[in-house]
Structure formats: structure tokens, C-alpha cells
Structure 1
Amino acid sequence: MRSKLLSIVAGLGLAFACLQSAQAQAQPVKFALCYDLSKSYGFVTPQIAQAANDYAKILNQKGGIEGHPIEILVQDHGNEPQRGIECYEKMKREGAIAFDFLSTPVSRAVLPRAMADGNVMVQSFVGRGDAVDGDVFKWIFPIGPTYWGQMANNIHYIKTKSNNNLKGVKISFIYPDYPFGQEPIGVLKTLAAKEGFDLQLVPNPMPGNDQAAAWSQIRRNNPDWVISWNLAGMHVVASREMKRNGIPMDKYLSVNWLNEVDLANIGLENAKGLKRGTNVTGGQSHPLMQQIIKDLYEKNKGSGDRKHLNDVYYNTGLAIYASVFEGARLAIKQNGWPITPDKMKRGLESLKNFDAEGLLAPVTVTTKDHGGGGKTRIDMWDGAKWVPQTDWFSAYDDVIQDIVKKESGEFAKNKQ
């Protein structure tokens, strides 16, 4: 009788253990996308959220991340810092393991809270450049190139086109006069002093619909190059003003936020010669894109409009979340379930030469470097397609590192 009772107890214990295991397997990994879906960044956020959801569906069809389904939580913050903070607090209560705001002003506002709480904040392609310093910004992950790194790479490209000598070269920088546009100015000034180029800063008030005065200034300067930190329709306005002022399009070097919609609105032929700093591979030839088309959109299971698959911003979303999902996979594989902020942090810090099969430049994230290398490339529009002008590269790494340490040191000092 006693033996039979022990057998029943053991069986119940095994059943309970199996139930616990099944419950653990069913628990989702949650990612919070607090995005501006209604105001300044509505030209890009729907595509990135759509890509994140599509990639989550593809992985969930294969069992999720190490057996755990992915859940994408999306909410609008309207590019308002206070609403971004409110979204963060809500998503924190809902159990998100990583938080993404895709806005420089909102990211800057939320950053101190995420740091104080010990929560992972994703800051790919936006936000403050010194956040790559993992010693200071322990919970912030600007994986990929920051605006600082992208600007440094742009200057290096111009240098290669100027017989490797920038002395006397005239560069005009046109930018929307708010945090996003202002972010790379310090790097520009530092490099101007180092290399001897002539820098003209041309701020333009938001929303950037009237750039007549700005381009008149640029025309009078007669620059060799114009670096633009414009967004969306601002590029179209800029192209019209360039034509009116007799400035050729091949002098225009854009920030990465210029997509196929902008090209169509400028005019595919009119945009010929335009150049862009590029963070990710565009087009639909990538294996992940092909799988998404086959498994989701050809079966009417996609997360949004199929036309967005032609947009480099969709690929940008895939690139961001390829890195984030891989970090979560490493977190669970290396340290087990349940996933915690600390495990997620260590997972992201384990990314090594990760490029999502060529979707982005290889990134290696460490405890000290949360950016992963800062590589971009320069592409040129030839009237029909983007043509890479360089391989993936990073430049002025020592200059960027010096600025990062100076700025992150100020942040650390002011916190105390």
C-alpha cells in the first residue's frame, strides 16, 4: 500500500513538473514598441511596426524564441516625451522585456527611467550618440550606427571624393531645428576643426514645409556638398528648392531617413545622383523577405499593407528586430527561463558579427560597446535603383570614441 501511495505521489509530482514546464513554454516574450504613429514619424513607424510583427509571426510559426511565443505591444506616443513616459510605464506593467521608442526626444526623456529601473531600452538609429558607452548607459542599446557615426561616415566619404583632403571643401548642413536634427552637430564641428573643411549650419524650422530661406543661404555659400538631415516630405521640398537655386542633385547626401515614397515624390529621374547614408539592405531579395512574402503575404496573413514591403523602412524594422530577437534567444539559451532584464541585457551583449544574413552591417555588441560598430554605407540613386558606392564601413572611430566618453562622462557626473 505504501509503495502504491509513493508511486501515486511520484506520478503527481511528475505531472505537476510537466504542467509547470508546459506553462513556462507557453509564456510569451513581450516587446514594447512605443512609437509616434500619429504626428512627426508617421512616415516610418507603421512600416517598422509591421516588420516587427511579421518577423514575430515567422518565428512563432517555428516555435517562437527558444519555445516561447513573441508578443509585440504597440502604442502611439505622438512624439510627445510625457506620453512616451506614460507608454513606458504601462508596458512595464504589462511585462515587456525591452522597450523601443523610435524618437530622439522621447528616447532622451525615457532614458533616465529605464536606467533607474534596470530595463533594456532599444535605441537603434535614433537617440543620443553617447549611449553606445555600455559602462555608463548599461541598459541602453543603440545597436547599429548612431547619428554621430553616420555623420562621421558621411564626412569620410566626402573626403574620399576630395582627393583625401578636406581643407577648403565647403559643406552645408541643413537640418530640422529640433533634437533629431541637432544631434550630429557636435561631431560635424569637431571634424571641421580636425579636417579643415568649411562648415555652414543651416537650421530649418519644423515642419520643414518652407525651406526657401534655408536654400537661399546654401546657394550663396556655393557648397561642394550638402548633407541633409531632412525627413519624409522635407526631401521633396528640398529637391524643389535645389532646382530653383540651381544646386545639382548629386551634391545632396541624405541621412538614412529617405525612402522609396520620397523618391517617387521627388521624381525617380529628378532624384538621379542623390546619395544616402544607408543602415540596412533594401529590396526584397533577402531570404527573410522572401520567407515573409511566401509564408505571410501570399496567404493573406501579413501584418499590414503589402506595398510596404517595397520600402527600405520595412527592412529597417526587420534589421532592428532581427538583432533584438536574437538577443532574446541568446538570453534564454544561455541563462534559461524566465527571461529577465538582466538576462536580456547579457543576451544583447553576446551578439557577435551578427548581420541577419546580410540584412545589416555586422554588429558585435559588448558590455562596453552597446552600438556594435557603427558601420554604414553610401548608396546612390541612379534613376532606377540604389547603387552602393562603398562597402559597409566606419570612420573616425577615435574621434567618435573621444566625443562619446566626454558626453557620457558629463551624463554620469550630472547624475550623481
Structure 2
Amino acid sequence: MIRRLKLLIGAAAFAMGAQASFAAEPIRFALCYDLTKAYTFVTPQFAQAAKDYAALTNLRGGIEGTPVEIIVQDHGNEPQRGIECYERVKGQALTVDLLSTPVSRAVLPRAMKDGEVMIQAMVGRGDAVDGEVFKWVFPLGPTYWGQAANIVGHFKKQSGGNLKGKKIAFLYIDYPFGQEPIPVMQELQKREGFELQLFPYPLPGNDQTSAWSQLRRFQPDLIVHWAFSAMHVVAAKEAKRNGIPLDRVVSVNWLNDVDIANIGAEAAKGIRRATPVVSGTDHPTIKAILQELYDKGKGNGDRKLVSDIYYGLGLATYATIFEGARLALKSEKAPLTAEKMRKGLESILNFDAGGLQPALTVTGKDHGGGGKTRIEMWDGTKWVPQSDWSAEYADLVWSTVKQHSGEFAKSAGK
């Protein structure tokens, strides 16, 4: 009887404590996203994942007992609207996430000047991983320079450690996003002795005929494809038309299950991609989200999107951000400020979100977390890992980062 009474008292005390902590002001994270124009192939999944993870976190008692709130607004991929969104939310939210390269570049100087934590996952300036220059900007993932290096590193391992005599085609949308890896690819050509040819195609990416005709004549051993959304579908059709097997193609991370469905599950067999997160729904956090939210009608979007790789990328990003907030609360105590949040993020050590991503270690020097990716292949029904997590040619990647961040620091008068 006494033991039962103690248990009841303990449960009541826990409930009162949870209520008291949730009476406090929530920690807010702002998502100023392009929900209507260019980035709609990825922003719904990111926003849905962030809101779902916040809901799951709140069901489990919040971050160190403090509730979480996600603010989502649309900037339509317009820099001025992005600046306006940033100005609206910066006083309310602990972090601001733009998920657009033009908007991120427009807002970055303001965030740096204001001392506001800006999240820049998979977009914006590649050199922003340099925390010594970009003190308030956190990419929290690999650069495109790093992804290109990792793909070449994987191919080298596949080729027995020697790329001399190999032919690598770099196929890309002729736009800053597609052009960004070229200097790294050219430097790797010098180091490794492979033959490199560039095959650009124009925006919006639906006419790749000329690039693939030239590529066919080159007869590459590997095709590194830098594109997104429907460009992958066009590329797959062109590869088939030109008699080039898809198992020679490795894409940047922007290749998802929607693209595979549009190519055709069987037709896409063999195609590969680089990825900074695991695929599918066989993960404890995603299973918990499905069971505790979607099975109870409390999800924040289409259940089908939960299996999408972009949802997983958004989930990993916000798991990492929440971990930074947890560390900040443990060491600095509430209320959190931008300075405390920055220090929390820079305290992240070997955080893999329960296996959702490679272990990230974020420091004052490295705001990317290590730059690891792995290669996956579509086998006709699912994505199958082809490599371990790795970050290849780190010296080259960081020398490229430092070159660009140094130019920024000089132009900014630092």
C-alpha cells in the first residue's frame, strides 16, 4: 500500500512538473521557405518533417522540459520577401532557416551583423561551413564540393584504388548550383589522372539532347550528374536513348522517390545517388512519428511523404538543431539566446540522430559537421547502400572552403 502511494505521488509530481515546464514560453524555430515556386520539390517535406519532429518532441516532454514551436512562412524564392520574413521572425525565433540559395545569400549579411543563428542546409554558400568566418551560419551537412569529392572517392575504391585511364563525365545544369563542383572535379583530375569532360545543359533542364549525344561519344566509365527534380527523369530517358546504362550514373543528393516513380521503378534500376541521410521508414524516430502522430490522425502532412528522402533530410536537420538547443539548455539554462544557441550547436559531438545520419561533430571551426555522405543504388524496389559514410579528399575540400571564405572575409573587411 505504501509503495503504491509513493508511485501515485511520484506520478502526480511528474505531471505537475510537466505542466509547469510547458507553461513556459516555447522555443521557436523559423522556416522561411519557398512554398510556391522553385523549391517546392523539397520544401513541403522539410517543413512537414520539422513540424512532425516538434510534435513528437513535445509529446515526449519537449527539449529539457521546454515546448517547441515551428513557424513556417513563404518567401516564394524572392530575396526581398526572404529578407522581410527574416526581419519578422528574428525576434521571435531562435534560428531562421531559408532553404533557398538566392534568399540565403541575401539574408546572410544581415544574420551575421545581427548575431542571429541562420540554418543553411544543402543551399547557400558552400564556404559557410567555415565557422571561423561565418560565425552565425550553420549548414549542418556536406558541401557540394564535398559531395563531388565523395563520389569520386567512392569510384576510386570501386576501381581498385586507381583512376588513371578512367573517363569521368560531369553532367550538369548550366547554373551556379550545377557549376559549383567543377573546380574540385578539375583538381581531382590532376591528382588522380582520370580523363574529365564537362557536359552542361541549359535551364530549365528539359533539353539535354546535345549534352547526351556528346557524352555518348566520350564513352565514360562514370557520369556524375548535378541536377534536381524532373531533370533526372529527362536524363534517364536520354541515357536509354543513347544506350548508356544507368548504373554508370551517380547523382548529387537531389534525387528522390518521386523522380524514381516518374522514371519508372524498373527502368531506374541501377541508378545511384549520394546521400547525407538514410532512406526509407525503417528507423526508430520515423516509426515513432508514424505510430504516435499519423496513426492517430495528428501528422502534419501527407503520410506518403514520410518515406521520402527529403523528409528524412529535414528530420535529420531538425534533430540536429534540437540537439543543439538541448545542449544549450543543459549548459546555459533558459531563456535561450542566439549566442547560447550558437554555442549549443558548436557543442554537438558525434550526433547521428539515432542512426538517421552519419555522426556529426560541429565545432567553432566546422559548422558542417564533417561532410560525410554515402552512395546508394536503386535496385528496382528500394535504395541499397553501396558504401560506408565517408568524407573523401578533406584537404582539397577545406582548401576550397578556405579560399572562398577568405575572399568573403576580405570583401567584408574582416
Same-fold call, TM > 0.5? yes
State the partner residue of 1:239: 236
State the partner residue of 2:352: 355
Letter aligned with residue 83 of structure 2 = I
The Cα shift of 1:276 comes to 0.6
The Cα shift of 1:32 comes to 1.1
State the partner residue of 2:71: 73
- Which of the residues 279, 283, 292 maps onto 1:282? 279
Give yes or no for contact 1:85–1:110 (8 Å, CA) kept in 2. Answer: yes
State the partner residue of 1:14: none
TM-score (ref. length: structure 1): 0.92
Measured against aligned partners, the alpha-carbon deviations of 1:13-49 in whole angstroms (never above 9, x if no partner) come to xxxxxxxx96995211111111111122111110110
CA RMSD, Structure 1 to Structure 2 (Å): 1.7
State the partner residue of 2:109: 112
- Kindly indicate whether residue 293 of structure 2 is the aligned counterpart of residue 296 of structure 1: yes
Letter aligned with residue 387 of structure 1 = V
Letter aligned with residue 307 of structure 2 = N
Between the aligned partners of 1:199 and 1:368, the Cα distance in structure 2 is 32
Alignment of 1:20-59 (within 5 A): 25-59=23-57
Between the aligned partners of 1:216 and 1:102, the Cα distance in structure 2 is 34
> Which piece of structure 1 moves more, 345-354 or 194-203?
194-203
> Which piece of structure 1 moves more, 98-107 or 295-304?
98-107
Measured against aligned partners, the alpha-carbon deviations of 1:135-190 in whole angstroms (never above 9, x if no partner) come to 11111111121111111100101112223222232211122222322222222122
SS at match of 2:231: helix
Alignment of 1:152-231 (within 5 A): 152-231=149-228
SS at match of 2:191: helix
Letter aligned with residue 378 of structure 1 = I
SS at match of 2:55: helix
Between the aligned partners of 2:58 and 2:114, the Cα distance in structure 1 is 29
State the partner residue of 2:366: 369
> Which piece of structure 1 moves more, 197-206 or 351-360?
197-206
Closer/same/farther in 2, CA of residues 205 and 83 from structure 1, 3 Å limit: farther
Letter aligned with residue 327 of structure 1 = G
Closer/same/farther in 2, CA of residues 297 and 24 from structure 1, 3 Å limit: closer
Give % identity: 63
Give yes or no for contact 1:128–1:183 (8 Å, CA) kept in 2. Answer: no
Between the aligned partners of 1:249 and 1:351, the Cα distance in structure 2 is 38
State the partner residue of 1:406: 403
The Cα shift of 1:79 comes to 2.0
- Which of the residues 137, 141, 153 maps onto 2:138? 141
The Cα shift of 1:249 comes to 0.5
Letter aligned with residue 250 of structure 1 = D
Letter aligned with residue 273 of structure 2 = R
The Cα shift of 1:399 comes to 1.0
Measured against aligned partners, the alpha-carbon deviations of 1:267-286 in whole angstroms (never above 9, x if no partner) come to 11111111110110111111
Give yes or no for contact 2:21–2:65 (8 Å, CA) kept in 1. Answer: no
Give yes or no for contact 1:126–1:147 (8 Å, CA) kept in 2. Answer: no
- Which of the residues 377, 380, 383 maps onto 2:377? 380
> Any stretches of 5+ residues in structure 1 without a counterpart?
1-20
- Kindly indicate whether residue 83 of structure 2 is the aligned counterpart of residue 85 of structure 1: yes
- Kindly indicate whether residue 265 of structure 2 is the aligned counterpart of residue 257 of structure 1: no
SS at match of 2:196: strand
Between the aligned partners of 1:245 and 1:317, the Cα distance in structure 2 is 36
Give yes or no for contact 1:29–1:69 (8 Å, CA) kept in 2. Answer: yes
SS at match of 1:26: coil
Measured against aligned partners, the alpha-carbon deviations of 1:226-274 in whole angstroms (never above 9, x if no partner) come to 1111111111011111111111101110111111111111111111111
Between the aligned partners of 2:100 and 2:165, the Cα distance in structure 1 is 35
State the partner residue of 1:60: 58
State the partner residue of 1:394: 391
State the partner residue of 1:306: 303
Between the aligned partners of 2:147 and 2:235, the Cα distance in structure 1 is 21
Letter aligned with residue 53 of structure 1 = K
Between the aligned partners of 2:64 and 2:289, the Cα distance in structure 1 is 20
Letter aligned with residue 55 of structure 2 = K
> Any stretches of 5+ residues in structure 2 without a counterpart?
1-18
